[in-house]
Amino acid sequence: MLAIACIMLAIAYIMLAIAYIMLAIAYIMVAIACIMLAIAYIVLAIAYIMLAIAFIMLAIAYIMLAIAYIMLAIAYIMLAIAYIMLAIAYIMLAIAYIMLAIAYIMLAIAYIMLAIAYIMLAIALVCSPLLLPCTDQLMITCALRYAPTMFAPF
C-alpha cells in the first residue's frame, strides 16, 4: 500500500511538475507578448515622433508660404504704385507735348507775322523809295537780305 501511495504521490508530483512547466510556458508566452507589446509601443512612439516632425515641417512650410504671400502682396502694391506713377508721368508727358505743340503753333504764328512784316517792309521799300531817308533804306535792304535766315527752323 505504501508503494502504491508513493507511486500515486510520484504521479501527483509529475503532474504538478507538468503543471509548473505549463505555467512556465504560459509565463514565457506572456513575457513574449509583453515584449511584442513593448516593441509595438516603441514603434507607435516613433510614428508619433515622426508625425510631430511632419506637423512641425508643415507649420514651417505654411509660415514660409504666408511670408511669400505677404511679399507677393507687397510686390503687387509696389507694382500698382509704379503703374500709378507711370500713368502720372505719361499724363505729364502728354501735357508737355501739348504745351510744346502750343509753343510750336505760337512760334509758327510769330514767323507768319514776321513774314507779313517783311512783306510789308518790302512793299514799303518798293512803293516809297523816295520818302525814306538813306539810313532807313539801308536798314530795310539789310533786313530783306538776311530775312531768309530767320526761317531756318522751318
Give CA–CA dist 46/58, Å, rounded. 18
Query: And the C-alpha cell for 117?
Result: 512784316
Close Cβ partners of 140 (under 8 Å, ≥ 6 residues apart): 121, 124, 125, 132
CA 139-142-143 angle, 5° bins: 85
pTM: 0.50
Average pLDDT (41-59) is 96
Q: What is the per-residue pLDDT across 62-109, written as a single tens digit (0 to 9) for each? A: 999 999 999 999 999 999 999 999 999 999 999 999 999 999 999 999
Give CA–CA dist 110/6, Å, rounded. 152
pLDDT at 120: 85
